[in-house]
Amino acid sequence: MEEKELILLLKQSSKDAFTALYKQYWKQVYNFSRLYLTSVDAAEEVVQEVFIKVWETREFLRADDHFKGLLFIITRNLIFNQHRKSLNEDFYKVTVLAALEEPYDVEEEIEANNLQEYIDRLIDELPPRRREIFNLSRKEQKSYKEIALLLDISEKTVENQISEALKYLKKNITLLLLFI
């Protein structure tokens, strides 16, 4: 049976067409995966995920499209996602290990607390509306749009108030650091 016919049948949820396409292409997808993945298990997992995606999106397939090309695009994307996930996990592990190896510095902790108290005092010195907007943004993690809706002001006003608050804080923190 021709590939186009198989794709048309696959679009109609034919398991036989899916099996035929799988048998025809799984080895090529696997070999392509092995070029970028060192683990046999990881490559086999990618092959499974590729064909799961094909099954899940079968109704969007077009018989005129280059099916093999589609498989390799899906495979490439899955490999990139797997690499990205692996890099993030490795970075997390290295960060945790580095943190465990660093000695705990009580003086540094006290200095950090003092700086935080100083910043809190500076925030308290802001004009009331600016302080409210700044706290909604930084402490409550609200977006400019959410703040604008909540306070019935424009997003541009929110942006300007945050900008002015940050300028004030930076100026005063810089002055503090100059005298330390």
- pLDDT tens digits for 8-44? 999 999 999 999 999 999 999 999 888 888 889 888 9
22's CB contacts (< 8 A; 6+ apart) are 51
Q: Check for a shared fold between 3-100 and 106-178.
A: no
Interhelix angle 15-36/3-11, nearest 10 degrees: 110
3-100: CATH topology is Rna Polymerase Sigma Factor; Chain: A (1.10.1740)
pLDDT tens profile 112-126: 667 778 888 889 999
Distance CA 10, CA 4 (A): 10
Give the predicted TM-score (pTM) of the model.
Answer: 0.49
Q: What are the DSSP E strand ranges found in 23-171?
A: none
Please state which CATH number belongs to domain 106-178: 1.10.10.10
Burial class of residue 54, CB neighbours in 10 A (0-12, 13-18, 19+): buried
